[in-house]
Amino acid sequence: MKRPLNSMQFPLYVLLLLLMGSVIIPLTTEKFNMKAKTVILGTLVLSWGMMLSTFINVLREGPYLYNIGNWGPKIGIQFNIDIFSTSMSLFILSLSILVIIYSLKDIEHEIYFKQISVYYSLVLLLILGMVGITVTNDLFNTYVFMEILAITSCAIISIKRKKENYMASFRYLILNTLGSLSFLFGVALLYMVTGYLNMSEIYIRINQVWELYPTNLLLALGLMLTGLGIKAAVFPLHVWLPDAHSTAPTPSSALLSGLVVKVYIFTAMKLLFRVIGLEIIDTINIPSFITYFAVVGMIMGSVFAIGQRDIKRLLAYSSVAQIGYIFLGVGLATELGLSAGLFHVVSHGFMKSLLFLSAGAIIYKTGKRDIRTFKGIGYQMPLTMILFTVGALGMIGIPGLNGFMSKWYLGFAVLEKGQPIYLIVILLSSFLNAIYYLPIIISAFLTEGEERNIMVLEDIPKTMSIPMVLIASFCIITGFFPQIVMDVVSRAIPTFL
C-alpha cells in the first residue's frame, strides 16, 4: 500500500485532537478570551485539515479498515475509512466550524459567562461523538459514541439555566437513554448469536443467523431501529425534539438540528445495509415500514409547524418533516434513494443551520421570537432576513437552491421504485412548507413594523454574518451545481448495497 502510515492514522488523530481540545479549554483559561478561541478554532481547523487529507487520500487510493492499536476485529475497535465516512465527517466538521465561528459572539449573550469555556468543551466532545459514530465500524463503539452524544447534547441544551431548558433536557436525557438502551439491548442480542461486534464480521455471519435464530435477529432489529428512531426524531418518536431544539442556545440548536440527528441516520443506514444486509431486510419488509413512518412524518411535521408561533419551535418541527424526506430516501433502499437521502442530509444540514442561525441573529438583535412580531424586521436586519429567505426558499424547494435538487433526486428515486404516490406526498409537503415559511418572509419584508420601514445597514457582528453568508452561498452553489455533492455521495453509496 502506497499510503504513508501516518496519514492512515488521521481519523484517530482527529478524535484524539478533539478530545484534547475539550480537556484543554476549561483548564487553560477561566475567562473566555482570545486564547480560548484560538484553541477551539485551531483544534477544529486542524481536524478539518486532517479529515480533508484523509478524504482526498481515500478518493485516490480507495477505502481501508483501520484497527486501533492493531487489535484484531474480534476484540479491537475498527474504523471504516471510506468515501462515505470521510465525506460525511468532513461535512460535519465544516458545518461545525461555521456554526462555532458564529457562536463565538452569540453565546456570550445566551449563557452565563463563566460557563462559556465549559460550553465549548462540551461542543468539541459533541463533534468528537459525531465524527466517531460516522467512522466507526463497531457496534459497541457506536453505542459509546451515542452515549457521549446524548450526554453532551443534553448538557448544551441545559446550559442555559432556565426552567424550560431543564425540562427539555431532562426529557431529552430520559428518552435518549431509552433509545441508547434499546440499541444496546439490540447489540447484545446480535452479539449473542454472532459472537462479533464488528459490523463487517456480523455481516459475514448474518445469513446463517437468520436461518438459525430469526427471533433474536428480529428482536434486535426492532429494538435498535426504535432506539435510533427516537434519536433521529422519526415522526411519532420526535416528542423530545421541539422542546429541546427550541430552548437550546442558538448554536446548539443549529448543531443539534443540522448534524446530531443526521448521524443517527448514518447509524441506521449502517445497521440496515452493512450489518443486516439488503437481502434480509427486504424479506422482512423493513424498507417499506420506514417509508410509512417517513411519509407520515413529512406531512405531520409540517402540519405541526403550521400551528407554531415561536420561530425556533417552528424550525424544529420543520426538521421533523425533513427527516421524513431523508428516511424516505433510505427506505427506498435503492442506489438513487440512498444517494438522494444523503444529498438531503447535506442540504438540510446547511439549510436548517442557516435558518437557525438567522433566527438566532434576530433573537440576538431584537429579542423577538414570536413570528407575529416579525413585522418589518426585514428592514431592521436586511442581511439576516435575506439569508433566512434563502434557507426558507430552499426548504420549500425553489429551483436554484439545494432543497430543490434534493426533491428532484428524491422524486426520481421514488419514481424509479414505482411509487408515484410518494412523489405527490413530497410535493404536498413542499406546499405545506410554503404555508409556514412564506408568511414569515412576507411579514418581514412587506408589512410595516411599529417604526417606519427604513432600510438600515446590518449591524449584527461580522463573526455572525460571515458564517451565515458562507452557508447561504453553499446552498446556492449546490443548488445550481448539485453534482459537487452528488458525485461524492453517489460514490459513497455502493458500499451500502
Partner 1 sequence: MNIVKPSRKEGTKKTFDYFSINCVLIFLVAAVSTLLFVASTLTGSDGNVIGSGSIQTTIGYILKLKPLPLFIIMFPLIGGPLEALIGRKSENLRDSTVVDTTFITFIAILAMYPQVSRGTMNYFIPGVFGHGLSFRVDMLSFIMAATSGVLWLMVTIYAHDYMGIEEHRNRFYLWMSVTYGGVLGTVLAGDMLTMFLFFEIMTFSSYMLVAHNQSKESILAGNNYLYMGIAGGLSLLLGIMLLYAYTGTLNFVPLASQLAELGWRKYLITGLFVLGFGVKAGMLPLHIWLPKAHPVAPTPASALLSGILIKVGAYGMLRVAVSFFVPAANEIVSFGDSLWVVSERLGAIIIWTGVITMAIGVFMALQQSNMKKMLAYHSISQMGYIIMGIGVASYLGYNGAMGFSGSIYHIVNHALFKALLFMVVGLVYLRTKELDMYKLGGMWKKMPFTAFVCVIAILGITGMPGFNGFASKSILHHAIIEAYEYGHPSFKYAEFIFTLVSAGTVCSFIKLFKYVFCGACPEKYKNIDGEKGMMDLAMGGLALMIIAIGQAPNYLLNQFIIPATEGLTFDPAFINEYLVSMDFFNAKDVLGMLWIYLIGIGIFILGTKFDLFHLHLPRWFNIETAFYKPMARGVIMFSNNITKHYEIAIIKSDIIIYTCVLTGIIFLLMKFV
Cα(329)–Cα(342) distance, integer angstroms? 8
Range 303-322, binding partner 1 (CB under 8 A): 303-304, 306-308
Backbone torsions φ then ψ of 456, nearest 5 degrees = -110, 160
Range 354-393, binding partner 1 (CB under 8 A): 393
Q: Which of 40, 233 has the CB closer to partner 1?
A: 233
Q: Is 24 in the site for partner 1 (CB under 8 A)?
A: no
Range 142-161, binding partner 1 (CB under 8 A): none
Q: Are 331 and 246 in contact (CB under 8 A)?
A: no
Instruction: Spell out the residues 6+ positions from residue 141 whose beta carbon is closer than 8 angstroms to its own.
Output: 77, 132, 197
Q: Which of 12, 187 has the CB closer to partner 1?
A: 187
Q: Is 230 in the site for partner 1 (CB under 8 A)?
A: yes
Q: Is 469 in the site for partner 1 (CB under 8 A)?
A: no
Which listed residue (11, 129, 242, 324) binds partner 1 by CB under 8 A? 242
Q: Is 207 in the site for partner 1 (CB under 8 A)?
A: no
Which listed residue (46, 59, 423, 470) binds partner 1 by CB under 8 A? 423
Which listed residue (289, 310, 368, 458) binds partner 1 by CB under 8 A? 289
Instruction: Spell out the residues 6+ positions from residue 165 whose beta carbon is closer than 8 angstroms to its own.
Output: 157, 158, 159, 247, 248
In the complex, the smallest distance separating the C-beta of residue 48 from partner 1, rounded to whole angstroms, is: 27
Nearest alpha carbon to residue 175 among 268, 239, 95, 264: 239
Cα(299)–Cα(51) distance, integer angstroms? 37
Q: Is 299 in the site for partner 1 (CB under 8 A)?
A: no
Nearest alpha carbon to residue 463 among 106, 39, 37, 108: 106
Q: Which one-letter DSSP state was computed for residue 460?
A: S
DSSP string, 389-441: HHHHHHHHT-TTSHHHHHHHHHHHHHHHTT-HHHHHHHHHHHHHHHHHHHHHH
Region binding partner 1 by CB under 8 A among candidate stretches 65-73, 229-237, 318-326, 362-370: 229-237
Q: b/e per residue, 88-110, with b = 16+ CB within 10 A?
A: bbbbbbbbbbbbbbbbbbbbeeb
Q: Which one-letter DSSP state was computed for residue 259?
A: I
Query: H helices of 213-334, where?
Result: 214-232, 241-247, 250-255, 261-269, 278-283, 286-306, 311-332
Which listed residue (21, 129, 229, 403) binds partner 1 by CB under 8 A? 229
For cell 504513508, the residue is 4
Q: Which of 71, 292 has the CB closer to partner 1?
A: 292
Which listed residue (55, 143, 240, 422) binds partner 1 by CB under 8 A? 240
Region binding partner 1 by CB under 8 A among candidate stretches 71-79, 97-105, 132-140, 419-427: 419-427
CA angle 199, 205, 209 (to 5 degrees): 115
In the complex, the smallest distance separating the C-beta of residue 476 from partner 1, rounded to whole angstroms, is: 12
Cα(214)–Cα(471) distance, integer angstroms? 46
Q: Is 284 in the site for partner 1 (CB under 8 A)?
A: yes
CA angle 472, 362, 163 (to 5 degrees): 120
CA angle 458, 460, 463 (to 5 degrees): 120
In the complex, the smallest distance separating the C-beta of residue 268 from partner 1, rounded to whole angstroms, is: 13
Q: Which one-letter DSSP state was computed for residue 157?
A: H
Which listed residue (42, 72, 195, 399) binds partner 1 by CB under 8 A? 399
Q: Is 405 in the site for partner 1 (CB under 8 A)?
A: yes
Which listed residue (23, 56, 427, 497) binds partner 1 by CB under 8 A? 427
Q: Which of 186, 251 has the CB closer to partner 1?
A: 186
Cα(44)–Cα(94) distance, integer angstroms? 9
CA angle 17, 21, 24 (to 5 degrees): 135
In the complex, the smallest distance separating the C-beta of residue 289 from partner 1, rounded to whole angstroms, is: 7
Q: Is 446 in the site for partner 1 (CB under 8 A)?
A: yes
Q: Which of 46, 178 has the CB closer to partner 1?
A: 178
Number of residues that bind partner 1 (CB under 8 A): 62
Q: Which of 311, 432 has the CB closer to partner 1?
A: 432
Q: Is 219 in the site for partner 1 (CB under 8 A)?
A: yes
Which listed residue (218, 296, 469, 470) binds partner 1 by CB under 8 A? 218
Q: Which of 70, 283 has the CB closer to partner 1?
A: 283
Cα(280)–Cα(283) distance, integer angstroms? 5
Which listed residue (16, 23, 204, 442) binds partner 1 by CB under 8 A? 442
Q: Is 188 in the site for partner 1 (CB under 8 A)?
A: no
**Binding residues for partner 1, per CB under 8 A?**
171, 174-175, 178, 182, 214-215, 218-219, 221-223, 225-226, 229-230, 236-237, 239-240, 242-243, 283-285, 289, 303-304, 306-308, 393, 396, 398-400, 405, 407-408, 411-412, 415-416, 420, 423-424, 427, 430-432, 434-435, 438, 442, 446-448, 480-483, 486
